[in-house]
Copies of this chain bind each other. A is one copy, B any other.
Amino acid sequence: MNSFFNRLTPKETKFFPVLKEMSDVLISASDVLICYVRSDRSSKEPDYYKEIKELERKADDLSNRIFEDLNSTFITPFDREDINNLANTLDDVIDSINKSAKLVLLYNPKKMPESAFKLAEMIKEATIQIGKAVDELDVLKKSPENIKKYCRELHDIENRADDVCDNYIMNLFCEETDSIELIKLKGIVTQLEKTTDTAEVVGKIIRTIIVKYA
């Protein structure tokens, strides 16, 4: 009975807090990633990878909750599949942060390059822009101007991250003579850069929603 009325009550706003929670998890994960990349990976350091892994699982649960809620909700602010896509893509961002951290753990390179620090900071910037965009989803239809700006920002961050990654790899091929170390460093820096690509995809999904409801 309760469930029946529950289904008929409009709940436009119930998805926004969960999406917001997801974007907060992204920001936290990018904070831990910065610490991890900056750490000397000794046994004295906190287990940063484990922290990121836990945040990744939390985001996974939130994304699932959205999926289940969408299936039992009559009215949603946007088409159901758009909210589901957005939640999936936020999940992809934290998966990519998690994968970056995992490569640091797996490859354990001798020395972490400055470019990896820069890229981790850029990932943080990107998650903050995502947070701002998610914050304004409730006014997306009425005034999308700010959200468009954040999406544009995600695009610019990705471009800058690309440059950092490219310059690093060009130098790496000139300077690194140990081919195993080269594979490791190229792998880590490329994966960090890919995380900004995934963050940009969030911007593209949001732009598609803007276009759809314009």
Interface residues of A (CB under 8 A from B): 67, 70-73, 79-81, 84-85, 88, 102, 105-107, 144, 166, 169-170, 173, 179-180, 182-184, 186, 204, 207-208, 210-212, 214
Contacts and interface: CB of A to CB of B under 8 A. Distances in A.
Contact of A184 (B79, B107, B173): B173
Given A180-B182, A182-B183, A81 B212 contact: yes
Contacts of A170: 105-106
Chain A binding surface SS class: helix
Given A79-B212, A106-B166, 6 more contacts: A80-B212, A84-B211, A85-B208, A106-B173, A180-B182, A183-B183
9 contacts: A67-B207, A67-B211, A72-B214, A73-B214, A79-B212, A84-B211, A106-B173, A107-B173, A173-B180
Contacts of A81: 208, 211-212
Copies of this chain: 3
A4 B183 CA distance: 57
B207 A84 contact: yes
Contact of A102 (B84, B166, B180, B208): B166
